[in-house]
Structure 1
Amino acid sequence: MSSPDAPARRNPFRRTPDTGPRASFRELLPYLTEHRGLLALAIVLSLVSAGLSLAQPALVSQVISLVESGGALGALAWLLVALVIGNGIVTAVQHYLLQRAGTSVVYSSRRALIRRLLRLPIREFDTRRTGDLVSRVGSDTTLLYAVLTQGLVDALGGAVVFVGAIVGMAIIDPLLLGATVLVIAVAIAVVGGLSGRIRVASREQQEKVGDVAAGVQRAIAAIRTVRAANATERESVAIEREAKAAWGAGIRVAKVSALVVPVASIAMNVSFLVVLGLGGYRVASGAITIANLVAFILFLFLMIMPLGQAFGAVTSVNQALGALGRIQEIMRIPSEDEGDASVAAAPAIETDDAIRFEEVRFAYPEAAHKTEREKVIAETVGDEPPDDREVLHGVSFAVPRGSRVALVGPSGAGKSTILALIERFYDPTAGVVRVDGMDVRALPREELRARIGYVEQDAPVLAGTIRDNLTLGTPDATDAQCAQVLRSVNLGEVLDRDPAGLDAAVGEDGVMLSGGERQRLAIARALLAAAPILLLDEATASLDGVNEQLLREAIDAVAADRTLLIIAHRLSTVVDSDAIVVLDHGRVVGVGTHSELVATVPLYRDLAKHQLLV
């Protein structure tokens, strides 16, 4: 068993640091313009606050001059108090507006990212890790908040204060201003040099955080397997290694950004000392008055304050742009519907077939064929054998409307791939897949999938309630309809054992249900949708003999007016099908009834013998 002190090994689940394209400020603008009303008001208030701030040094200078001359302050003092209080109120309102705008930007970016994620081509989910995608929705979008709350609008108001302060200082004493600007210019040059390094380090940090999220998600999703294999410590060490890498990346961000803070502090202190020393000499020589020196110092503080904010904003804005780069990486991926208009679909034909494959060839895209884990492992062990990525080789068969057809064959023969092509999770490399005589590429995906009920081999169950899972595709189904379809697949006991009935929780990944119950719930969902075509991928794999028979009876009850295409390893469940298609290594090696295939197809005869059906 591994230990935290064990020598570091190359982790096959760990990615090489991604220094992909970084986002530019221009790419951030669409997120900001969506909330331009709030931002415009915040900018106006920022300018008002700047004006109120700039008025104070001039007013203080007049107060000092009146005190020196022995004049009465009168309303001047009250005006100064009003300026200070008014500035505080304006700043508070502006702060609220910025917080609201920042929260709105995070929301709109999450909304756009979620909509894009759920519409990505299936091949993207074949290679990307779920935890990393979740991290982009969570932590990456949160960093956009800092753009508004820690820099952007404040920087605009600060720029006005900065320019106004310089003008005021120039009026009072250009010589003092020149000495001050020299110090500030050096500080700005240093911060500008650090800016790029912060953005690179920030993006790396977000990548590492995504690695941690992916590792945690992977371990939790398979927690029972991990515990049963006594791999808890090993998985903990692996995730801790990712967490340490994220910590290291965060430290690198901290080191670079830490250099920014003292630069601002040193610039302020040095410029203040320069003003005090040189300004005192100028007062002693009679070049300026004490009142002017005080006003100059106040203008200096007004100039340094937004400059310090800008220096701090460099870190937060660059972190946000690094995170935005990861968000934009997903946003740039075309959704599965984009480009459909340019697909050349075969013309429709008149046919009695509900499903028809015509010389279909299919090869998984390079990215989907080999997962990132497999690529890294192969690279690690130096074993990358050549392989043929084509999994279907000229497959042709037909499923007449209203019939029941089974797909059988050894594992890896291409059976599940055929269902994926019908659902148009992928498009064929060559040939035509037809549904009701139409090339599936000519049908809008929503319309195509509305015609098909699909039960996957793993029968995934979503966290939530029985009702949530059952009505996933039919949200308007009544309680009576739900109960009827559940009892038709022998899930009445699940309804009765919990007082909540349809609203009983199923747990994460349906952990509150048995494997057979999850399978039957998925089938019930497909039956409730009442689609004219049913695709069943190993629908009875997790069922015992009794429930298998009950499920076959339920399917028989709805099969009269539906087309069924069934994948099965248990030939006993499909021997009475209207036709059986035998696949081997992506090729059709036989089509016929059970008795015909036993007599004519050696592969099918062997399968039947092993299952005692011959």
Structure 2
Amino acid sequence: MSRTATARRRGRGAQQDGPRASFRQLLPFLFEHKKVLAVVTILSIVGAAASLVQPLLVGQVIQRVQENLPLGMLIWALIAFVIVSSVISGYQHYLLQRTGTAVVLSSRRRLIARILHLPISEFDARRTGDLVSRVGTDTTLLYAVLTQGLADAVGSALLFAGALVAMLVIDPVLLLLIVLVIGASVVIVVLLSGRIRTASTAQQEKVGELASGVERAVSSIRTVRASGATERETEAVTGLATEAYGIGVRIAKISSLVVPIAGIALQLSLLVVLGVGGFRVASGAISIASLVTFIMFLFMLIMPLGQAFGAITSVNQALGALGRIQEILDLPAETSADEPDAAATAAPVAGSAAIEFRDVRFQYPENVVAAREAAAKAANDLLADAHLAAEADPSTGSGTQPDREVLRGVSFAVPRGSRVALVGPSGAGKSTILSLIERFYDPTGGSIRLDGHDLRTYPRDEMRARFGYVEQDAPTLAGTLADNLRLAVPDATDADCERVLRAVNLGDVLERGSLGLATPVGEDGVMLSGGERQRLAIARALLTEAPILLLDESTSSLDGVNEQRMREAIDAVSADRTLVVIAHRLSTVVDSDLIVVLQDGAVVGQGTHDELLESTPLYRDLARHQLLV
């Protein structure tokens, strides 16, 4: 099945099972601006009163003209009420526009704050583009709730009720006919509103898929071009855009039935009033002045009704988007309220290791496994024509199975001030160990200890401050060298930044131009080489002066000369630090104090290089293949 077809199937599922929000969930976003909304409500009431007076004044003017009586101040009073009503309407429109923008801002703030505090497992299971779409596109739809008639509902209701009462007083017969026409239109709108919400939810889901598809294609554009997959990626992403268009057309069709209903109701009502009302004027049941007044009130009755119909459409679209927003807001943050207090953290246990794994077991959550398998399949589809194969590695994502433990009873200790290396074939679980130390995940069995205490007894922020972590393929942030270095230490001096850069042999980058630390690195560090990006990540970790360094394949992108210089730099800064290093090149870790050999999620050997050559066949094979024996 093609990716486009798969996307269509996902789109149908989203349409049926996508998140739905209730109107009650929308209220907190509105109540954040209750003072402004109160002013809008008062203005709406005053404006409605000013509007209701106008037909009565017009009726009085016509009556006096018919009776050849002087108009006196009636004309000036009518003009004054028209001006007051217009000024109030304009200021109310400004307040609604401003408040609608403020609602979008507050919803984005809440959503951004929650996204950036989500557990790592959520990022592993979700697509980046979809999260971006929720922040950008979905929140924008909340704007329409305020700007299309909902916030001035009180004034509109007053206008509707006032017009209804006035029309009842003028001619109950005509009013009864109008109510029949309007009642039918209301029933139709209510029936269509549910379909609008369902279609809007499906459209937002599809827009999220589209954003994810664009993000995936753009972020891997070099691989796409090198694989000759540009046209296939274009077709796949365009397919998602076409499906989003199709859903948008469906919404437009439904809306096209809702929007004209107010106009049709007005036209039918006007025809009824003119026909029946003209007959009643001719029969003497009502006067011409009363008929004109009735017609003016009819327009005032239809106007809020049209606003209500527009509000129903916009609110249902907003509720579809709010369901996706609320889905993220309802997710628990990584740092829970019951985390231990930093002040209560116990002192290190005498004689304890810096880090200790005790019979640790772990398997990824099923949603993460499913997401990674889908991503791996998409990558394999992309690279199929180029005959490239991705090696499945549970520690980095692809290839895991829901019923397979990634780590199976792992136990080892990292003494303070020592250098411990984790080695083994791909898929052994090495990177997963560092993820557990950083508490991106918690073990499903056993325990991890820091200074003799269970890792979970530490507040995450305090615990992570003790680690300098350089992940595999560490990202380079768009911006400058200084922006990247000061990510964890925002108050670091220029001298400190330059010191760590020279320590990892990046002095030449500083000296390439006249900008120094302000040298831009480009999107994803595109202006740096792979080795330079990796060294910049290590420099960032060194700048934190954390007592424990976690290095995941920190020298994999370096040539022989820079690798040796990097080893010398790490030797220099690790004199008073504890190091946990993952390496495929055994030459970079042969002098480690302890080497832990992993295979299929289990420890198969521990010791020094020489000890493992004697005791562990797997390590001996690895060393032989790398010409170390």
- Structure 2 residue aligned with 1:88: 86
Aligned mates of 1:475, 1:21 — CA distance in 2? 39
Partner residue, 1:367: 367
Deviations 1:337-380 (A, max 9, x none): 2375499x9998543311000111111111112326539969x9
Which of the numbers 502, 510, 529 marks the counterpart of 1:495?
Answer: 510
Q: Which amino acid aligns with 2:424?
A: G
CA shift for structure 1 position 546: 1.1
- Tell me how many residue pairs correspond in the alignment: 606
Partner of 2:428: 413
The CA distance in 2 between the partners of 1:520 and 1:12, in whole Å, is 43
**Hey, what's the Cα distance between the residues in 2 that align with 1:333 and 1:164?**
46
TM-score by length of 2: 0.93
Q: Does 1:17 align with 2:32?
A: no
Alignment match of 1:509 (pick from 520, 524, 529): 524
Alpha carbons of 1:371 and 1:512: their partners in 2 closer, same or farther (altered >3 Å)?
same
Counterparts of 1:220 and 1:522 in 2: how far apart (Å)? Answer: 23
C-alpha deviations, 1:121-171, integer Å up to 9, x for none? 111111211111100000000000000001212333211100010011111
Contact 1:363–1:389 under 8 Å retained in 2: yes
* SS of structure 1 residue aligned to 2:579: strand
Query: What is the rounded CA distance, in whole Å, between the counterparts of 1:41 and 1:58 in structure 2?
Result: 27
Displacement of 1:499 in angstroms is 2.1
Letter in 1 for 2:351: T
Alignment deviations for residues 494-531 of structure 1 (CA, whole Å, 9 cap, x no partner): 11113222122211111111100000000000000000
Aligned equivalent of 1:562, options 570, 577, 589: 577
- CA drift of 1:471 comes to 0.6
Tell me if the contact between 2:124 and 2:372 (Cα under 8 Å) persists in the aligned partners: no
1:398 Cα deviation after fit:
0.4
1:379-411, CA deviations, whole angstroms, 9 ceiling, x for partnerless residues? x99xx9976420111111000011111111111
Q: Which moved more, 1:520-529 or 1:282-291?
A: 282-291
C-alpha separation in 2, matches of 1:297 and 1:431: 79
Q: Structure 1 residue 21: deviation in Å?
A: 3.1
> In structure 1, how many angstroms separate the alpha carbons of the residues matched to 2:138 and 2:530?
36
SS in 2 for 1:370: helix
Cα distance in 2 between the residues matched to 1:13 and 1:66:
70
Number of the residue aligned with 2:448? 433
Task: Check the 8 A contact 2:339/2:459 in 1, yes or no.
Answer: no
Map 1:226-375 to 2 at 5 A: 226-338=224-336, 341=339, 349-371=349-371, 374=374
Pairwise mapping of residues 92-241 of structure 1 onto structure 2 (< 5 A)? 92-241=90-239
Q: Distance in 1 between matches of 2:132 and 2:354?
A: 39
Counterpart-to-counterpart distance in 2, 1:221 and 1:109? 27
Amino acid at match of 2:611: E
SS in 2 for 1:401: coil
Does the aligned pair in 2 maintain the 1:46–1:153 contact within 8 Å? no
SS at match of 1:215: helix
State the 1:253 CA deviation.
0.5
Gaps of 5+ in 2: 382-398
Amino acid at match of 1:267: A
* 2:492 aligned residue (471, 477, 482): 477
Alpha-carbon distance between aligned partners in 1 of 2:456 and 2:235, rounded to the nearest angstrom? 47
- Trace 1:515-594 onto structure 2 (pairs within 5 A): 515-594=530-609
Per the alignment, do residues 126 and 187 of structure 1 end up closer, same or farther by CA in structure 2, a change over 3 Å counting? same
Does the residue aligned with 2:477 lie in a helix, a strand or coil? coil
Partner Cα distance (1:77, 1:295) in 2: 16
Letter in 2 for 1:587: A
Amino acid paired to 2:368:
A
Distance 1:448 1:398 in 2: 18
Structure-1 separation of matches of 2:157 and 2:321? 26
Q: CA RMSD in A?
A: 2.3
How far did residue 313 of structure 1 move?
1.7
Answer yes or no: is the 8 Å Cα contact 1:12–1:376 preserved in 2.
no
TM-score, length-scaled by structure 1:
0.95
Give the direction of change, closer, same or farther, for the CA distance of 1:377–1:223 in structure 2 (3 Å limit): closer
Q: Which amino acid aligns with 2:440?
A: F
Q: CA deviation at 1:14?
A: 5.3
Given residue 264 of structure 2, which amino acid in structure 1 is its aligned partner?
I
State the alpha-carbon separation in 1 of the partners of residues 369 and 83 from structure 2. 66
Residue 455 of structure 2 corresponds to residue 459 of structure 1: no
Change (3 A) 1:11 1:27: closer
CA offsets per residue over residues 578-603 of structure 1, 9 Å max, x none? 11111111111111111111111111
- For residues 504 and 84 of structure 1, the distance between their equivalents in structure 2, rounded to whole angstroms, comes to 62
- Tell me the equivalent position of 1:608: 623
Change (3 A) 1:16 1:521: farther
Change (3 A) 1:326 1:540: same
How far has the Cα of 1:15 moved from its partner? Answer: 5.4
Distance change >3 Å, CA 376–CA 184, structure 1 → 2: farther
Cα distance in 2 between the residues matched to 1:100 and 1:8? 40
* Letter paired with 1:238: A
